[in-house]
Amino acid sequence: MAAKYCEPCTARGMNPTALKWCTECEEALCSECTEAHKVQKMSRSHHLVEIGKIPNKIDLSCNCSKHQPLTFDYFCVDHDVICCKECLSTDHRACKNVTSIDIASTSSKQSQSFLDYEEQLRFILEALGKLNINRKENSSRIEQEETQIRKQVAQTKEILIKRIEYFEESLLKQLTELKNKDITGIKQQEKDIGDLVTSTKAQKEALEFIRDHGSEKQAFISIHSSKPILDGIENKVKQLTESFVDTSLMFVGSVSEDILTDLGSIELKETPCLVSMVPYKQLQSQVPVVSSGKLRSLTYLNDIDMKGERLKTVSGMTITDNNKLIICDVTTRKIYFFNENNTYLSSISSPHQPWDIAAIPGTTTAVLSCRFEACVQFIDIDMRKISKQVEVNQSQGCGVDATKHNIYVGSKGNIHVLDLRGNFKRTISMKNTEHYIDYISVCSNGNICYSITNEVCCITAEGDPVFSYTSPDLLQSRDIQIDDADNIYVLGRDQRTIDIFTSSGILVDILSIDNLSEPLSFCYNKELSKVYIANNRGKTISVFKAKK
């Protein structure tokens, strides 16, 4: 950092405030020293900068960090490093391409290295800006999700309260009915007892009257004539006694303390950040692939060695940005990974039967549709694992495709559009079809192409028809792919061909392919130089050389 006071004046015992900085002399200068600096022969061409414009965190020193106070005087071309005298003698004695730093630095501001450095700084700041935006969006989303979850908790509470109130009302109704029924029975029993009490008292009064006022003869006759009556009363009392039960009401709880312990739980799910960062030098080394023309012929090369793994029904395939092949087998329930040289690496198992798979451009994530489950699964390609599962409103799994912005999932008569995190955005209703959309692919203009049995169709992003193609020569249309030039390729299972259409639905070519037997799915690399086909009913992966 530049000094606060003028350094030449400080050496003379004065402390005037520095106003300028000489980048060549590496000295801070006051106004008088600045004027002198401008006219002296040795320094008139030097670069002077205002002190206030110098960044706080900047190292303007030309001294070697290892051998201070020696300055950097040399540049080793062999090692692409700057050196002081000590560095040169110890580390670069055998180097042949060493020059002075004055010569090496000529026009350095206009050099490609300087421009690359500037571009790398811009690239890093841009990447950090994206990450910062991503974090702010994540924070905002968390705030919104908290509000939503609070509403859901309140709704759950309300549902439970209503449910409990319903149970309470039902129990109280049952209590009243049981009580009333039992009380009615008891009152009838009390009436029966009262009738017997009245009869018994009448017999007692008659007996007491005869005892006090009647003759012996009357007493004898009364006893014998009343005996059957008393025996009848006693028998009824016995019957009542045997039929009576003591009743009581009590509450028997059907919910234990262990059953309802809470209203649910809050989970924090972690998924890979969608902002990816490719190092600047690696980005420089990658040549953008621009596809031109369309496929004209395919030549069989070989079948991929699965190293003992047995494929049964490969129903979906995709290629990543760096030409790594990924396939899924609906029968084995596995996802298989290959490197860019088509060497089999490993596999993972899915809890459901996978149907179709698509790599999300610009990311290290693929999305997988499941055959008989209303969900899609996200695959971490680098880690080779299922990172998360998202429910989709569909009756069974169908085709899936992904662009830089959206995920498209086919279903019966509909295509569901999700964002790259799997959040539902909208549904595209298909017109005049109730078929299952087995395979889909999206054009650069947003139109969506799909295959159903013996037909190839295309619709706009709003669901309006673009074209529909049927032909006796197109039997059992299967997988569908679209290249960078919007050429549409449709795999025909029964006729063992790839039909090629323009984006407007005009059939321009039919590639008949040797060495094929009931192919199920296919894809090609980014250069459109290799085509991979799930051959023999999806039991092998055949590689074909492609010509355009």
**pLDDT per residue over 124-180, tens digit each?**
898 889 889 988 988 998 999 899 899 988 998 898 899 888 888 888 898 899 899
- For the chain, the average pLDDT equals 86
Does residue 364 sit in the same domain as residue 435?
yes
- Domain's final residue, options 37, 61, 85: 61
pLDDT at position 472, please? 77
Closest CA to 368 of 405, 338, 334: 334
Q: State whether 456 and 361 are in the same domain.
A: yes
Task: Tell how far CA 282 is from the center of its chain.
Answer: 27
Whether 389 and 516 map to the same domain: the answer is: yes
Q: Could you tell me if 50 and 78 lie in one domain?
A: no
Q: In this structure, are 23 and 156 located in the same domain?
A: no
**What's the pLDDT at 273?**
56
Confidence of residue 30 (pLDDT cuts 50, 70, 90): very high
Phi, psi of 80 (to 5 degrees): 55, 45
**Two tokens at 432?**
């005049």
Instruction: For residues 355 and 441, state if they share a domain.
Output: yes
233 and 370 in a common domain: no
The enclosing domain of 352 has a CATH number of 2.120.10.30
Check whether 291 has a pLDDT greater than 50. no
Pair (211, 138) in one structural domain: yes
pTM flag (> 0.75): no
Highest mean pLDDT among 243-247, 282-286, 416-420: 416-420
In a domain, 312, yes or no: yes
Contact 489, 480 (CB under 8 A): yes
In a domain, 101, yes or no: no
For residue 118, which phi and psi values (nearest 5 degrees)? Answer: -60, -45
Residues 51 and 66 reside in one and the same domain: no
Buried b or exposed e, range 277-293, using 16+ CB within 10 angstroms = eeebeeeeeeeeeeeee
In the predicted model, is pLDDT for residue 303 greater than 70? yes
> Considering the domain boundaries, does residue 110 fall inside one?
no
Judged against a pLDDT cut of 80, whether residue 430 lies above it is answered with: no
Contact 368, 360 (CB under 8 A): no
- Our count of domains for the chain comes to 4
Same domain, 157 and 24: no
Could you give the CA distance from residue 505 to residue 542 in angstroms, rounded to a whole number? 28
In which domain, by residue range, is 41 found?
1-61
pLDDT of residue 170: 86
- Asked whether the predicted pLDDT for residue 481 surpasses 90, the reply is yes
